[in-house]
Amino acid sequence: QKEVEQDPGPLSVPEGAIVSLNCTYSNSAFQYFMWYRQYSRKGPELLMYTYSSGNKEDGRFTAQVDKSSKYISLFIRDSQPSDSATYLCAAPGWDGGSQGNLIFGKGTKLSVKP
Amino acid sequence: NAGVTQTPKFQVLKTGQSMTLQCAQDMNHEYMSWYRQDPGMGLRLIHYSVGAGITDQGEVPNGYNVSRSTTEDFPLRLLSAAPSQTSVYFCASSYSTGGGQETQYFGPGTRLLVL
């Protein structure tokens, strides 16, 4: 079992919808998580960084971690066609920091229809 | 800053050929990594480096070699290409901002087709 699991989708929603993207993790030692966004034929780019307790909000995006169930979520409010991309969750390969070693979920492909 | 650059953008190889994928960064980042991305498999770590002269294996290292003689460059060598190595390869660099935080910056990728 991979340490970070993610439903690959695809997920299609109408513009303006609230989107929920989810991952599960197996290593309780993970202390922080990341969400990356990857547009088609581009490299991933960091979207949000969140520690293993609580929520983090950045504009229309909210990242949430539930340690008890080992569940990571990314919510997108008022989704826009420009949000259409693949979203990848990630965790560090080391307890003390990734040092270049990240474990990624498979990514969820999101399409927001106008 | 150019960020992370990768060359070539696209390459076709025949089975058994060798080649080097180039990666360079101009941000003075200490950490560099190579990932491959395949449909349905996500991003998988091949090799990574925590500084010049130091490299380590990731999840899928077989068939690949790396070295890091400078902070800026981290080439990935395919020793004898196989069709299973057909993939999109991403190089990334990162630095520690303290408190465990670290942001990886990815290059644009190299698409490799092995026939």
pLDDT in tens, chain B (115 residues): 789 999 999 999 999 999 999 999 999 999 999 999 998 888 999 999 989 999 999 989 999 999 999 999 999 999 999 999 999 999 999 987 766 667 889 999 999 999 9
**B37, containing H or E segment:** strand B31-38
Alpha carbon B83 to its chain's center: 18
Least confident of A1-10, A92-101, B12-21, B77-86: A92-101
Whole-number pLDDT of residue A29 = 80
Q: How far is B99 from chain A (nearest CA, A)?
A: 8
Whole-number pLDDT of residue A3 = 86
Rounded CA-CA distance A104/A86 in Å is 12
Burial class of residue B98 (count of CB atoms within 10 Å of its CB; 0-12, 13-18, 19+): exposed
Whole-number pLDDT of residue A7 = 85
Q: Which residue of chain B comes nearest to A30, CA vs CA? A: B100
A104 contacts B44? CB cut-off 8 A: yes
Task: Indicate the pairing of strand B110-114 with strand B10-13.
Answer: parallel
**CA-based angle A38:A5:B41, to the nearest 5?**
60
> With 90 as the cut, is the pLDDT of residue A28 above it?
no
